[in-house]
């Protein structure tokens, strides 16, 4: 998949989660939902997996704007940011890239907002 903004970081998994939340807040995003996939998989199907968290990030102003441009964009909301620990302990942070996610959409207003959101998410990931 080539829909991401990704960076490998030098922090522990838990520290990375907190740093990601801080970086998102710094660029105007809040975390609406946090899904601990490791815990969920263990609870639901009894399987072990790597540390893996999905953060549902949202900037209400941008969400409101894009939903009024095209309600179908709600399929891409909130903006998912994942944090996972690779074998060996390296930690990866990856965000959806809204510009790439909307693809070749013909709506210039939507493209403009997607570009602005992508810039903010890139800035958040770069802060790590």
Determine the Cα–Cα distance for residues 128 and 66; give it in Å rounded to an integer.
27
Q: What mean pLDDT, rounded, does the chain reach?
A: 95
Print burial letters for 52-81: b (CB count within 10 Å at least 16), e (below 16). Answer: bbbbbbbbeebbebbeebeeebeebbbbbb
Tell me which H or E stretch contains 107.
Answer: none
Which pTM does this prediction carry? Answer: 0.92
51-73 pLDDT, tens per residue? 999 999 999 999 999 999 999 99
Per-residue pLDDT of the chain (128 residues; tens, 9 = 90+): 688 999 999 999 999 999 999 999 999 999 999 999 999 999 999 999 999 999 999 999 999 999 999 999 999 999 999 999 998 889 999 999 999 988 877 889 999 999 999 999 999 999 99
Determine the Cα–Cα distance for residues 91 and 89; give it in Å rounded to an integer.
6
Identify the three-state secondary structure at position 77: coil
For residue 49, which phi and psi values (nearest 5 degrees)?
A: -150, 175
Determine the Cα–Cα distance for residues 20 and 23; give it in Å rounded to an integer.
5
């Amino acid at each position: 998949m080539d829909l991401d903004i990704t960076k490998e970081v030098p922090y522990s998994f838990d520290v990375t989660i907190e740093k990601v939340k801080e970086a998102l807040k710094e660029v105007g995003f809040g975390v609406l939902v946090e899904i601990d996939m490791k815990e969920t998989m263990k609870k639901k199907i009894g399987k072990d997996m790597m540390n893996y968290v999905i953060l549902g990030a949202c900037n209400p102003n941008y969400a409101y704007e894009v939903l009024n441009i095209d309600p179908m964009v709600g399929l891409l909301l909130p903006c998912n940011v994942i944090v996972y620990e690779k074998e060996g302990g390296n930690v990866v942070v990856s965000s959806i890239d809204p510009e790439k996610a909307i693809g070749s959409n013909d709506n210039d207003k939507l493209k403009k907002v997607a570009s602005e959101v992508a810039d903010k998410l890139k800035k958040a990931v770069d802060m790590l």
